Amino acid sequence: MSEHLLEPDLNLRTPTAPGRRHQPGPDEQLVLTELDPDSVIDHLEPPDSAIELITFGSVREACPVCATTHLKLVLRQRRVRTAHLFCSECLGCFDAHYSNGKSALTI
């Protein structure tokens, strides 16, 4: 397992309006931790068959492994045990949390 820190881009921040979701402060870095795909996805098909996952759009963070592809959000579903970020290029799975330990993937 590996961890990657993503620095917040302070130029993209806008003031938080009342009632809006919490925007992390400059002291809260997003940490991506690579996960073993077998720990987040149930593989019920033969080893070389494709797994159908429903993704919920791309996020602004790029994959820390291949660095060219934006990660996709995968929420819990029939064969997915935990919400995670997925790279369609290298097939990597990542957990996202802030440097203070709070999960970035909770609703």
Its pTM stands at 0.67
pLDDT at residue 55 in the model: 83
Under 8 Å between Cβ of 76 and 53 = no
C-alpha dihedral (45, 106, 32, 24), degrees to nearest 10: 160
Determine the distance from the C-alpha atom of residue 47 to the mean position of all C-alpha atoms in its chain, rounded to a whole number: 24
Domain ranges of the chain: 29-107
Tens-binned pLDDT, residue by residue, of the chain (107 aa): 455 555 444 444 444 455 566 565 655 788 999 999 888 887 666 667 666 777 888 998 999 999 889 999 998 888 888 899 999 899 899 999 998 888 888 76
CA distances from 42 to 36, 39, 54, 58 (A): 12, 8, 14, 22
